[in-house]
Amino acid sequence: MAHLGTGILLLLLGYLVKYRQWTWLIAGYNTSSRKEKDKYDKDALCKGMGNFLFILAGLNFISAAGSYLNWAWLVNAGWITFIAAIIIFLVYANTGNRYKQDS
C-alpha cells in the first residue's frame, strides 16, 4: 500500500511542477537568488522535472502491482529501476547545461 501512496504523491507533485510550474518544489532552484534563477529556462526545468516525477510515479506503481500480486521480483525490479532512474536523471540534468537559458 505504501508503494501506491508514494506513486500517487509523485504523480501529484509531477503535475504541480510541470503544469502549475511550482518551482518552489525544486530543491536548489527555490533557494537560489533572482540573478541565479534568471540563468535557467523555467519552462524547460519544470517540464523536465515534472516528466521525471511522472517516471518515478510509474515505477512506484510497478512496485505496487508487484506487492499486490505478491511478486517480490517485480517489487525489486521496480525499486532497482527507480534508483537507476534517479542516478541517470541526476547525470542527465547536471551535464550539458540542459536547463540553462540560451544567451
Question: Side chain identity at 20, as an amino acid letter?
Answer: R
The pLDDT, as a whole number, for residue 27 is: 85
Whether 6 has a pLDDT exceeding 90, the answer reads yes
Q: How far is it between the farthest Cα atoms of the chain?
A: 52
Which cell goes with 25?
A: 518544489
pLDDT 10s digits, 18-77: 999 999 888 888 888 999 889 999 999 999 999 999 999 999 999 999 999 999 999 999
- How confident is the model over 85-103, as a mean pLDDT? 88
pLDDT band at 100 (very low <50, low <70, confident <90, very high): confident
Whether 102 has a pLDDT exceeding 80, the answer reads no
